[in-house]
Amino acid sequence: MSARSSRRSFLKASLAAGGGLLLHAMLPLPARAAAAAGAPGGATLNAYVTIGADGTVTIVAKNPEIGQGVKTMLPMLIADELDVEWSSVRIEQADLDAAKYGRQYAGGSTATPQNWEPLRQVGAAGRAMLVAAAAQSWGVPAAECRTASGVVIHAPSGRKLGYGALAAKAASLPVPALASLRLKEPNDFTIIGRPLPGVDNAKIVSGKPLFGIDVTVPGMLYAVFQKCPVFGGKVASANVDAIKALPGVRHAFVVEGGRSLTGLLPGVAIVAESWWAAETARGKLEVSWHEGAVRTQSSSGFAKAAAELAKETPQHSLRRDGDAEAALARAAHRLEAAYSYPFLPHLDLEPQNCTARVADGKVEIWAPTQLPGPGAGLVAETLGIPESAITVHMTRVGGGFGRRLRNDYMVEAAWIAKTVEAPVKLLWSRADDIQHDFYRPAGFHFFKGGVDSGGRLIALSDHFVTFGHGGRVADSAGMSAGEFPAELVDNLDYGMSTMQLGVPTGPLRAPGANGLAFVFQSFLDELAHAAGKDPLEFHLALLGGKDAAGTSAKRSRRSDFDTGRLGGVLELVAEKSGWSKRRALPAGTGMGIASYYCHLGYFAEVVQATVAPSGDVKVDKVWVAGDVGSQIINPSNAENQVQGAAIDGLGEALGQAVTIEGGRVLEANFDKVRPLRIDEAPPVEVHFRLTDNPPTGLGEPALPPAIPALTNAIFAATGTRIRELPIERAKLKRA
Amino acid sequence: MSFLIEVNGTKRTVDVAGETPLLWVLREKLVLLGSKYGCGAGLCGACTVHLDGKPARSCLLPVASVGAQKVTTIEGIGETPLGRRVQQAWLAADVPQCGYCQAGQIMSATALLSKTPHPSDRDIDGAMAGNLCRCGTYARIRAAIKKAAGLSTADARTP
């Protein structure tokens, strides 16, 4: 496909999606509008770029910054093609404005693939307009002009004009046709590919207010909101009059709420002169709840029910290739294993919070959110106010991980602010945050696998027991028919059964993959060992080996999945980790390998772990090899993301679960749900394999393989197979 | 009740209940928003400040117990040469992802370096294990501490 036709198809796609991103982005504001926007002497070239008379370039960062680095990375794309010095660029965080910016969100590791070309086009269009302005001023053909570091140069005459001097004229010129734009060749990048620090770093290290929790509005009150500990419960009665009499408390009231777990829930709001006063008053709150039907649900109950369901035929067939049963019967080595993983919380370090002001029929929201648009929609619907009357300011977000794709805290703040007729900052306590999450759903997998005498995987079946009802699975609780290694095994059977769940679930960093990679990559490791094969060789054989030209001989029919790229990162990580020399490791120390493809990224990881006789697991080191295409846009952030994702995965495996009992979550703080700490965090060595593919995102895909690489390492170190998360030290204790 | 506390070199009078944790006095009364709430239980370290140069979890510290001890917060740490050096090391190492924990990390790191100018990896583990980074920027936190200490920033730990 030529670059031109791909641009045209982008334009079409964006119109079809209703976003109109590019067209809007390309509409230059008239010079007078730019002046009215308060940039003295400045000119707005398009929705993203304003150039001041002094040459200062202001670039709008359109998406929420949740720590994934987009507030730096997306403007880098524009700045490079605009051809300015990064040091002359100021970044401004956009408010929610779909008409100007199209979809604004943080999720799915999509910022890079969705913006790699369009935002470079935004920069290139701006550059073309500046060149046209200079050419007109000089009366020379634009083709004789070039740009460098914010200056247009007419080479034949040696004349130069800075962008600042050209901005006003450029803004009055027509927007160039997309097809006429020439993007830079990678060799000409001056900003893309440079390790640039985060644009908010100076504010972060000096404690400047940036986050949702830091928002201060004149006359603001502080709120806590107590919901029923049992999901779906309602308030029967509460001692709100007694609460109102407590020091500093201004308001206390019952919120009727609705039934949708993603909307405004029933509860009791306490609004006070300080958050501490509100939180202290909550200690005296007495609520009688109608707990409802979910109170009978528990983690242990689900595990029992899943084991019972596993004895039956799956309720739904996801995929059936060949005849797995017959192939199993003739396999030289047969294995059966039951795997499971628990409900997981998100543990954003900045607890859910939102500040809202409702006055004169208008709503103003300041929120740390990954998905501001639907948040505004939810507020509009719940408060009965048109969406056009709602302004959402996106603050920096103290951790997203998928939690803030839901905007329940936003509608709570808006409702409370409307009720008390004053600006309100709602802040959840840590217990609120852990006990009212949208959890990564638990999952149960019952595998059978068979390997022939040559060590080839000939049969695989999985009965996946998950949550749902009537053929519909709960949010983030599904498995696709293409789940790896589908299409690479001749006889394969994926079936699914569901259990009804009243606990809210949702996406957690690398949703689906964060559980599926663990179970499939662990079971494949089991099969490799059963066949007496090196797990690396077993994986490479599964991917089809190499043909004479060195490319993968076998292609999955899944159009978006390239077995050769996965094999490439497996080989790279094996080389970097010294995989072939692992037998020389001391007793009690082992290496595990795993790979996974998700969010358009290919990752393979090796973990080296040491298990003490006490059962304590120490992760010695992690090696990561990733393939996210042809270009690492910001190598500093890329390394940071990958290291963080690996640490995150290890933390989930070693210390995280929430326990449902009586329809509620038992854990309430970081003592019981443990992210990794610095003394437990291993060095993570990161390597990228650059391939001729469009660049893709890094927020998520490095996480999933870390977990099975760890559990496979524990097997190598101890001979004990971990089939249930989180890892229980008692199971690894040697007498 | 009224309390006189010294924060970042300035004496401030605040009128709050004596059991109010220092964190909320800083954030809501003095509008020093750099110290963060993360757990309210001394488990995450996001609220770390210094009392007479020693690290303290301000989310658990009643304002009445501060007395004459000098409070330093992230907003004031850059006033000392060491604090400034730590901040610069953080910038050079491009430590933050979301950034929410980093004020607490910097406060703990500065306290460590003031007591132990050339910390070993073990010293770093000991002083920093109370500060969670949910994004997992630990390798860079370690590197930044070593840089601020003038040590080699290579991760010296062998697997």
Nearest residue in chain A measured CA to CA from B20: A276
pLDDT confidence of residue A23: 24
Residue B155 in domain? no
CB contact under 8 A, B125 and A679: yes
Where in the sequence is the domain holding B47, given as residue range(s)? 2-75
CB contact under 8 A, B135 and A621: no
Is the same domain home to B27 and B68?
yes
Helix (H, G, I), strand (E, B) or coil at A62: coil
* Average confidence score pLDDT of chain A: 91
CB contact under 8 A, A399 and B90: no
Residue B135 in domain? yes
pLDDT confidence of residue A280: 98
Q: Which of B44, B91, B134 sits opposite A201 (nearest CB)?
A: B91
Q: How would you list the strands of the sheet with A221-227, edge to edge? A: A249-255, A267-272, A221-227, A424-427, A353-359, A362-367, A390-394
pLDDT per residue as tens digits for the range A674-698: 999 999 999 999 999 999 999 999 9
Q: Which residues of B touch A209 (CB under 8 A)?
A: 33-34
Among B52, B75, B98, identify where a domain stops. B75
CB contact under 8 A, A210 and B99: yes
Do A428 and A460 contact (CB within 8 A), yes or no?
Answer: no
Is the same domain home to B9 and B69?
yes
Q: Which residues of B touch A636 (CB under 8 A)?
A: 94
Q: DSSP letters along A87-132, please?
A: GGEEEEEPPS-HHHHS-----TT-HHHHHHHHHHHHHHHHHHHHHH
- Band of residue B67 on the pLDDT scale cut at 50, 70, 90: very high
**Shortest Cα–Cα distance, B75 to chain A (Å):** 5
pLDDT confidence of residue B133: 98
Is the predicted pLDDT of residue A659 greater than 60, yes or no?
yes
Q: Which residues of B touch A207 (CB under 8 A)?
A: 32-35, 73-75, 103
CB contact under 8 A, A398 and B41: no
pLDDT confidence of residue A47: 75
Q: What is the pTM of this model?
A: 0.93
Residue B35 in domain? yes
pLDDT confidence of residue A180: 84
**What is the C-alpha to C-alpha distance for residues A416 and A426, in angstroms, rounded to an integer?**
8
Among B75, B107, B137, identify where a domain stops. B75
Is the predicted pLDDT of residue A11 greater than 80, yes or no?
no
Tell me the mean pLDDT in the region A287-302: 98
Q: How many domains does chain B have?
A: 2
Domains in chain A: boundaries:
3-192, 212-292+352-427, 470-484+503-732
pLDDT confidence of residue A46: 67
pLDDT confidence of residue A43: 60
Is the same domain home to B90 and B71?
no
Q: Which residues of B touch A272 (CB under 8 A)?
A: none
pLDDT confidence of residue A735: 66
Q: Which of A542-551, A558-567, A645-654, B1-10 has the least mean pLDDT?
A: A542-551
Supply the DSSP symbol for A211: B
CATH of the domain at B67: 3.10.20.30
CB contact under 8 A, A207 and B103: yes
Tell me the mean pLDDT in the region A627-638: 98
Q: Which residues of B touch A679 (CB under 8 A)?
A: 125-126, 128-129
**Shortest Cα–Cα distance, A145 to chain B (Å):** 37
E strand residue ranges, A441-490 = 443-451, 457-469, 472-473
Q: Which of B21, B100, B142 sits opposite A399 (nearest CB)?
A: B100
Q: Which residues of A touch B32 (CB under 8 A)?
A: 207
Tell me the mean pLDDT in the region A458-472: 95
pLDDT confidence of residue A177: 81
Is the same domain home to B69 and B91?
no
Residue from B97, B101, B124, B146 whose CB has the most chain A CBs within 10 Å, to mutate: B97
Q: Which of A36-45, A516-525, A621-630 has the least mean pLDDT?
A: A36-45
Q: What is the assigned CATH class of domain A3-192?
A: alpha beta
The angle formed by the CA atoms of residues A22, A27 and A32, to the nearest 5 degrees, is 155
Residue B32 in domain? yes
Nearest residue in chain B measured CA to CA from A202: B91
Is the predicted pLDDT of residue B153 greater than 70, yes or no?
no
Is the same domain home to B70 and B87?
no
Tell me the mean pLDDT in the region A699-727: 98
CB contact under 8 A, B139 and A684: yes
Is the predicted pLDDT of residue A16 greater than 80, yes or no?
no
Is the same domain home to B38 and B82?
no
Q: Which of B34, B40, B91 sits opposite A429 (nearest CB)?
A: B40
A-to-B residue pairs, Cβ atoms closer than 8 angstroms: 182
**Shortest Cα–Cα distance, A633 to chain B (Å):** 15
- Token pair in block for residue A486: 């589908």
Tell which residue, A174, A134, A197, A214, has the closest CA to residue A28. A174
Residue B52 in domain? yes
**Shortest Cα–Cα distance, A219 to chain B (Å):** 12
What's A642-690 look like in SS3?
Answer: HHHHHHHHHHHHHHCCECEECCEECCCCCCCCCCCCCCCCCCEEEEECC
CB contact under 8 A, B38 and A645: no
CB contact under 8 A, A350 and B38: yes
Tell me the mean pLDDT in the region A485-498: 97
pLDDT per residue as tens digits for the range A503-545: 999 999 999 999 999 999 999 999 999 999 999 999 999 998 6
Residue from B16, B100, B122 whose CB has the most chain A CBs within 10 Å, to mutate: B100
CB contact under 8 A, B94 and A198: yes
Q: Which of A22-31, A85-94, A396-405, A613-622 has the least mean pLDDT?
A: A22-31
Q: What's the CATH architecture for A470-484+503-732? A: 2-Layer Sandwich (3.30)
CB contact under 8 A, A669 and B39: yes
Tell me the mean pLDDT in the region A143-170: 94
CB contact under 8 A, A276 and B24: yes
Q: Which residues of B touch A197 (CB under 8 A)?
A: 91, 94
CATH of the domain at B116: 1.10.150.120
Residue B156 in domain? no
Same CATH topology for A212-292+352-427 and A470-484+503-732: the answer is: yes
- Band of residue A549 on the pLDDT scale cut at 50, 70, 90: very low
Supply the DSSP symbol for A343: B
Q: What is the assigned CATH class of domain A212-292+352-427?
A: alpha beta
pLDDT confidence of residue B154: 55
- Band of residue A154 on the pLDDT scale cut at 50, 70, 90: very high
Nearest residue in chain A measured CA to CA from B97: A67
- Band of residue A28 on the pLDDT scale cut at 50, 70, 90: very low
Q: Which of A69, A645, A669 sits opposite B41 (nearest CB)?
A: A669
Q: Which of A91-100, A196-205, A370-379, A555-564 has the least mean pLDDT?
A: A555-564
CB contact under 8 A, A349 and B101: yes
Q: Which of A154-168, A193-207, A609-623, B144-158 has the least mean pLDDT?
A: B144-158
CB contact under 8 A, A670 and B44: yes
Nearest residue in chain A measured CA to CA from B37: A350
**Shortest Cα–Cα distance, A263 to chain B (Å):** 24
Is the predicted pLDDT of residue A126 greater than 70, yes or no?
yes
pLDDT confidence of residue A6: 31
Q: DSSP letters along chain B, please?
A: -EEEEEETTEEEEEES-TTSBHHHIIIIIS----S--S-SSSSS-TTEEEETTEEEETTS-BGGGTTTPEEE-HHHHTTSHHHHHHHHHHHHTT--SS-TTHHHHHHHHHHHHHH-SS--HHHHHHHHTTS--TT--HHHHHHHHHHHTT---S-----
pLDDT confidence of residue A309: 98
Q: Which residues of B touch A397 (CB under 8 A)?
A: 98
Q: Which residues of B touch A396 (CB under 8 A)?
A: 98-99
pLDDT confidence of residue B151: 84
Is the same domain home to B132 and B89?
yes
pLDDT confidence of residue A45: 61
pLDDT confidence of residue A545: 60
Is the same domain home to B8 and B18?
yes
Among B47, B75, B103, identify where a domain stops. B75
Tell which residue, A659, A708, A700, has the closest CA to residue A112. A700
Residue B154 in domain? no
Nearest residue in chain B measured CA to CA from A577: B159
Residue B159 in domain? no
Is the same domain home to B19 and B53?
yes
Is the predicted pLDDT of residue A557 greater than 60, yes or no?
no
**What is the C-alpha to C-alpha distance for residues A198 and A441, in angstroms, rounded to an integer?**
33
CB contact under 8 A, A67 and B96: yes
pLDDT confidence of residue A550: 42
- Band of residue A551 on the pLDDT scale cut at 50, 70, 90: very low
Nearest residue in chain B measured CA to CA from A196: B94
Q: Which residues of B touch A671 (CB under 8 A)?
A: 41, 43
**Shortest Cα–Cα distance, B37 to chain A (Å):** 7
pLDDT per residue as tens digits for the range B110-140: 999 999 999 999 999 999 999 999 999 999 9
